[in-house]
Homo-oligomer: A and B are copies of this chain.
Amino acid sequence: MSDEPAFQTPVTIQKPKQQRSIARYHHILDTAATMFVRHGYEQVGTNQIAAEAGVSVGSLYRFFSDKEAVVDALAERYIEGITARLPDVFPPGVPMPDLVGGMLSGLFIFARDNPAFDHLLTTTQTGAVARASVRMHLTIEAWVARMLSHYHPHLSEPQRQLCAASGMGIVKGMMTMAHPPDSVPFEVVQREMVSALMAYVGSFVARNPPG
């Protein structure tokens, strides 16, 4: 007749420490990433992911508390990945086009190795996917803002924010060119993107001069 509510989870969900578990964890995540890109987050079931990954649903739920946790983990992985590839400091003497070019080069390599990266970054969906996307967006945007204040220290905070936001818009928008219906080759996209960004920043600075 008593009625205590649920108690502590018997088996805590956690990132695995053992070799075997780590492999499984990443394998599931990779499988999920591929499927999300191919069919869309909503269309992919946890049972399907597990089956495709060759594990049981139970195993999936050992690593991920629920379906949303899968996208969250994906975003986290991507945020770590790009953070590691984005330079912390800006070495003096490097011209901005070179830096931006190098940065985008790294981004494209990362995107090619992680199929769901740009899908997640450029999505406009709601819910968990949106939250994941926003986290990734803000991570990169913050870096862009820092870079802008390095090269154009005279820009005010709002100016820098706006320019960074526009840059993100250009990057994200042009990334989708690589997919249907345009299907522009990655290298070409990258080249045009650098041009577009540099041209835009140039015009932005011209329109917002020092003093």
A192 to B199, CA, bound (A): 12
Question: Shortest Cβ distance from A140 into chain B, in angstroms?
Answer: 12
Instruction: Give Cα A2 to B72, complex, Å.
Output: 18
Q: How far is the CB of A137 from the nearest CB of chain B, in Å?
A: 7
Q: Which residues of B sit under 8 angstroms from A119, Cβ to Cβ?
A: 124
A45-57 vs B, Cβ < 8 Å mask (1 yes, 0 no):
1011011100000
> Interface readout for A22-45 with B: 1 if CB under 8 Å, 0 if not?
000000000000000111101101
Residues of B within 8 A of A131 (CB): 3
Known A-B contacts A165-B184, A200-B196; the reply to A127 vs B43 at CB < 8 A is yes
Query: A207 on the interface (CB 8 Å rule)?
Result: yes
Chain A interface residue number, banded: 35 or more
Inter-chain contact A126/B199, CB cutoff 8 Å: no
Interface string of A1-25 (1 = CB under 8 A from B): 1111001001100000000000000
Copies in the complex: 4
Contact of A40 among B45, B126, B166, B168 (CB under 8 A): B126
Look across to chain B and name the residue whose beta carbon is closest to the beta carbon of A129. Answer: B40
Question: Does A59 have its Cβ within 8 Å of any Cβ on chain B?
Answer: no
A residues at B contact (CB < 8 Å): 1-4, 7, 10-11, 37-40, 42-43, 45, 47-48, 50-52, 119, 122-127, 130-131, 133-134, 137-138, 141, 162, 165-166, 168-177, 179-182, 184, 188, 192, 195-196, 198-200, 202-204, 207
